[in-house]
Amino acid sequence: MAAQAFAAGFHLISNDSVSRPPTVKVNAKPPSIEELDAIDLPNYGLTKTNDANGVPRTAERCDPIEVVPKTPNELEQSQSPTPKQDEATNIVPNFWYPKMNRWRVLSACTQYLGNGLNDSAPGALIPYIEQWYGIGYAVVSTLFISNAVGFITAAFCCDPIATRLGRARSLMLAEVYVILGSVIIACPVPFPVVVVAYAAIGFGQAVTIALNNVFCANLANSTVILGTSHGSYGIGGIVGPLAATALASNGVHWSRFYLIVIGVRIFNLAATGWAFWDYENEGQNQFTNSLQQIASRQAAVEMGKPSKSQLVGRALKNRTTLIGALFIFAYQGAEVSESGWFISYLIDYRNGDPARVGYVTSGFWGGITLGRFTLVHLVSRMEPLTGAELICQGTSYWREIIRDCYNGQFANLTHHCGRGQGSISRVEMICVLTPG
């Protein structure tokens, strides 16, 4: 009742003078093809036109237009190809991450140190070995040949061993070989048995060198890490002749030196097993290995999985691999053989004292150690080929300078320095500082 009274108080007035918009008639029929063709659009140089004779003519600003795929299959084919194994992006580990890598690098350094002990000590022990067994150069040289045979054998066995046993067990097995060989030498055994023991030592050392080189080379800043690890090899080379000469010259049997080697190798056996035990199962390496396996599978599907013989064939056709292998073959052989036979040369041709000349090779290994700890930082800032070439040239000129200064051939020395980048002031300084 109250609501009706309230509504009665309003009076609505309609004003017909207000204008309204006209009604628009919409044609629901779409334009025909003829009507669309009749529309003339301006040409901005992005399309092709025909001349009066009907020949296609390209406008001045016309650029080639890529055909856009339309079907789903064409869209899939237009995408980038799946990355191959050498194109996959992996996470590069470093010295600090994963956290066990720092201990793995240190373990590799201790193994290299042990290898340096084994490679440098025989040179200081050769005179005592010859005296003990009553043999000469020709027979005692079989120790180096046997050691080289062990290295060559490991080249064919290292990959199958690492694939089946894993990195930790493979390194531990290599240490066992070195320990067994050292135990045999430490005992008074016939010389042929010592030759076999050197082959076992060479096999074990080669496996450790190969696996540790691969590990260090795959870390970030690998050049410096490899230089540090191989510098540890030089430290072992310094300690080896010093310890061997000190023991043998004081009446201790020469074979007792290998008791020191056994102790170092037992430590390496435990340290390597602890550091690399979960290497394959680690999250970082597991993710990286998964990427490599996926990329390898995709590459195998598209290109066909190569066999091991095909991989070897590719390596033999790679010029970098061949040159690098020949260089290491010449360098490593010259390094070990020179340090080994230089003591015999001093004793036989320079009337050196066997109790003192053993210390000379420690200076040789000291130079190797210094170069690997210092020059590697300079070479890491250069191109690898340029750095290797500069080091080889510098070593060659320095050897000629030392040889000519020792023989007093100062004129020939000046010629060598003038042919290189030396100067007269350097020649005079070397001649003054060099005795004789």
Location of structure tokens 């003038």: 418
- Would you kindly state where each structural domain of the chain is located, as residue ranges? 91-304+353-367, 382-436
User: pLDDT by residue for the chain (436 residues), tens digit each?
Assistant: 555 555 555 555 555 555 566 665 655 677 777 777 777 766 655 555 555 555 555 544 444 445 454 554 454 445 455 555 444 455 678 888 888 999 999 999 999 999 999 999 998 899 999 999 999 888 999 999 999 999 999 999 998 999 999 999 999 999 999 999 999 999 989 999 999 999 999 999 999 999 999 999 999 989 889 999 999 999 999 999 999 999 998 999 999 999 999 999 999 999 999 999 989 887 555 545 555 555 555 555 555 567 777 877 888 888 888 888 888 888 888 888 888 888 888 888 888 887 788 788 888 899 899 988 988 878 778 887 788 788 888 888 887 887 777 665 544 544 444 444 443 333 333 333 333 3
- Distance (Å) of CA 214 to CA 117, 152, 158, 223, 372: 22, 18, 12, 12, 18
Per this entry, what is the length of the chain?
436
Q: Is 166 left (phi over 0), alpha (psi -120 to 50) or beta?
A: left
Tokens for 205, please give them: 């050392």
| CA triple 133-124-335, angle to 5 deg | 120
Superfamily of domain 91-304+353-367: MFS general substrate transporter like domains (1.20.1250.20)
Instruction: Annotate 131-177 with DSSP letters as a single string.
Output: HHHT--HHHHTHHHHHHHHHHHHHHHHHHHHHHHH-HHHHHHHHHHH
For 139-151, letters b (16+ CB in 10 Å) and e give: ebebbbebbbbbb
Q: Is 79 left (phi over 0), alpha (psi -120 to 50) or beta?
A: beta
Answer whether 101's CB lies under 8 Å from 218's CB: no
In this predicted structure, what is the pLDDT of residue 430? 34
Please give the Cα distance from 292 to 257 (Å, whole number).
Answer: 45
Please give the Cα distance from 383 to 428 (Å, whole number).
Answer: 33
